[in-house]
Structure 1
Amino acid sequence: MRSANWSIIIALYLFLAGIASAAFYGGTLAEVLSGGKYRRLTLWGNIIALPLIVVGLLLLVVDLGKPLSFWHFIVSNDFVPMVNISSVMSQGVWFLSFFAILLVINLVLFLTGSDSLRRIISYIAAFFGILVAGYTGVLLTATSVPLWRATPFLGMLFLLSATSTGIAALVLGMKARRDTDEELMHLLDKVDVKVIVLEILAIIALMIGMAAWAPSALQSLVAGRYAVAFWLGVVFMGLIAPLAIEYREMRIGKATPGAVTLSAVLVLVGGFLMRYVILYAGQVG
């Protein structure tokens, strides 16, 4: 089990990988559950995910310092493809690589109109997207840092946060494309409300684990150096405010354009800060 002293580059990588994976599997799930009605969400998820995953991989290379070190997670010294089952980092690099390749294939199939094959590739890519979203939390639990090992729910927290930020990215993508489908916006609001509630429960479980296994990190998180970023950024901006906005939208039965945009932006800000504070508070004491 390794120790860790990771930089803000890793926080940004975790954030981008989460958005990318969830934007795609969220779009794919919407297409499947709607019987193809929301097929365009898979395309938008693909368009959002591909550049973010590429940037994420580049950030990993930069953080390693030596670009050739990246390839050691994929191939042996003899350049033979290799998966190190005992290395969470190696597994993650393979997940990311497969996901990126499948996104390229899926986008090509979209452009060529090969819809039957494209749907199959979408399902496979969505599966790898879920693995990427959960892996970003599991990667931290594989270290010796007490906060990150304090609860088995860290992977679930990152998966839920990724799902919420992915939905936010899809909403902003719709706004950028001037898609005014209120029914779809309302549906995304309803899903995100449920995801945010589960995310709050996962954070509570994390804090209970921290109280037992990482009290100094918990102190830093809730009352110390990272308290403002946690309470104002993660809890209020990233969870409570979007939950209140989206719940109101559900109650009135329609999506207000300005409120939807504000909620999506707040979710993205909170999603990044959640990774930032967990990454840095975990390295305290």
Structure 2
Amino acid sequence: MEVQWPLLVFSVLLGVTSGSFVFLAVGELTGRFKNVRFLGALIAFACLAVGGCVSVLHMGHPERATHLLGNLGSGLSKELFVVAIMGIVAFAYLVLAKKDYPGASKALGVVGGVVGLVLPFVAGASYLIAARPAWDSVTLPLMYTGAGLAMGMLLMCGLVLLGDRAAEDGGFAAKLALVGVVAMVVTALAYVAWIALAPHQDPTRSLERLVSGDFAAAFWVGVVVVGLAAPLALAAFVCARTGKARAAELATCMFVAFACSAVGAVALRVIMYGVGTSVERFIYQ
């Protein structure tokens, strides 16, 4: 299947929104990261808005997007509703982040974190189609969720380390980012395992395409080395060096790790589309 770039970009930006709000929600629950609340919420909201606009480009007739409301049980309709809810919560939290309403900010931040966890999962679940075996597994939406946690948390951690509370919050932020990266590694490998174990095996959707076939470069370089190993090593390094190295240098490591995780997310989604061939194609050939 051809790569659907608008949807791919949309899902990656949704992931950044998701991980950012989960990070901010943890901060609200623990009384941390107040210095990055506004900027973090602004980045998350901007990613959601840009991602939503880009996703509409996938439709041959964007003006017909409202037709999704006529089928509320479809995956796309559910995705639309969750995105709308996330947008409302993100905007409200963004406004409150500039005000002094700690109770309301905490409540909205926690709601944003919960919706943030649901958002990439719902987006990934819209691909669960029995006719495309390499997609028909819960590991796919979990992979979307794990990548989002890593990207958003790495980005937010970098902002914390650049702020004036790096000494107080930097260590906790780095540990939280490392948890997000571990979630990304586990869920990404789980999805790759599903590709190898999915029913109705065929060369077009086999593990061999990733290991030694036409997707080998994207898999080994884009996913394994750049997308998983590099963020994991950098996040672990920052955790070990927090308080022992300059915060600005550690922030740079986190931003590089964020960029690497984004590259990995794109590469794995390209592979996902590539192996998303249909069983029906071979039945009626």
TM-score, normalization by structure 1: 0.83
* Superposed CA RMSD: 2.5
Rounded to whole Å, the distance in 2 between the matches of 1:6 and 1:228 is 16
Partner of 2:212: 223
Is residue 2:10 matched to residue 1:13? yes
Q: In 2, are the aligned partners of 1:23 and 1:167 still within 8 Å (CA)?
A: yes
* Letter of the structure 2 residue corresponding to residue 94 of structure 1: F
Match runs of 1:226-265 below 5 Å = 226-254=215-243, 256-257=249-250, 258-265=252-259
Partner of 2:25: 28
Q: In 2, are the aligned partners of 1:25 and 1:45 still within 8 Å (CA)?
A: no
Ranges of 4+ aligned residues in structure 1 off by more than 4 Å: 177-180
* Letter of the structure 1 residue corresponding to residue 12 of structure 2: F
Quote the sequence identity (%): 20
State the 1:143 CA deviation. 6.0
Partner of 1:79: none
Partner of 1:205: 190
**SS at 1:272 equivalent:** helix
Segments of structure 2 that go 5 or more residues without pairing to the other structure are none
Q: In 1, are the aligned partners of 2:19 and 2:116 still within 8 Å (CA)?
A: yes
State the 1:173 CA deviation. 3.7
Rounded to whole Å, the distance in 2 between the matches of 1:267 and 1:129 is 18
Q: In 2, are the aligned partners of 1:15 and 1:275 still within 8 Å (CA)?
A: no
1:103 to 90, 94, 119: 90
Partner of 1:162: 148
Partner of 1:43: 38
Is residue 2:176 matched to residue 1:191? yes
* Letter of the structure 1 residue corresponding to residue 262 of structure 2: L
* Letter of the structure 2 residue corresponding to residue 171 of structure 1: C
Query: Per-residue CA shift, 1:217-242, capped at 9, x if unaligned?
Result: 22323322222111111111111122
Is residue 2:276 matched to residue 1:282? yes
Structure 1 residues 198, 223: CA separation in 2 closer, same or farther (over 3 Å shift)?
same
Rounded to whole Å, the distance in 1 between the matches of 2:236 and 2:158 is 18
**SS at 1:116 equivalent:** helix
Rounded to whole Å, the distance in 1 between the matches of 2:268 and 2:221 is 11
Rounded to whole Å, the distance in 2 between the matches of 1:99 and 1:47 is 13
* Letter of the structure 2 residue corresponding to residue 14 of structure 1: S
State the 1:16 CA deviation. 0.4
**SS at 2:92 equivalent:** helix
State the 1:95 CA deviation. 0.2
Structure 1 residues 188, 269: CA separation in 2 closer, same or farther (over 3 Å shift)?
farther
TM-score, normalization by structure 2: 0.83
